[in-house]
Amino acid sequence: MALMAWKDAYSVGNALLDSQHKQLIELVNDVNGDADLGEVLDGLRQYGEAHFRAEEDLLEAARYPDLEQHREHHEAFRAWLAEVIAARRSGGDAAVVRRDVHHYLSIWLANHLLVADKAFEPWLE
């Protein structure tokens, strides 16, 4: 699976959120690498907690009108990840989990980062 790279076009115009989005791309790449799967999943969980909170706080302060819908996207990510972690703990095949996680995250980057997150860029200016 091809490694992903950050592009300036992904920027949402906020240094903190951009650095967290870069971290997500690194985690996506780690899924494909030699990194321990449990650690990658734990990294994703910690990432989700910190990043979604930071993003939602900024959007709340900016009075972003689509915040509730955006929160639902984040909640869907959390629910998906909880299922993956549970599946892995109950003996899910690591190669299958890696492939599914990479697939979901690739779609998440395309749909969430490049569409839903880009949509709030003007509100953070």
Give whichever of 30 and 55 is closer to Fe ion, judged by the CB atom. Answer: 55
CA distance 58 to 61: 5
The site string for Fe ion over 103-122 (x = CB under 5 A, - otherwise) reads: --------------x-----
Angstrom distance (rounded) from CA 110 to CA 89: 28
Show the binding pattern over residues 54-83: x = contacts Fe ion (CB under 5 A), - = does not. -x----------------------------
Q: How far apart, in whole angstroms, are the C-alpha atoms of residue 98 and residue 91? A: 13
Closest separation between CB of residue 109 and Fe ion, Å?
11
Considering the complex, state which of residue 28 and residue 97 has its C-beta at the smaller distance from Fe ion: 28
Nearest-angstrom CA–CA distance, 83 and 85:
6
Taking alpha carbons only, the member of 8, 23, 9, 85 closest to residue 54 is 23
Q: Kindly state the smallest distance separating residue 23's Cβ from Fe ion, in Å.
A: 13
The residue ranges that bind Fe ion (CB under 5 A) are 55, 117
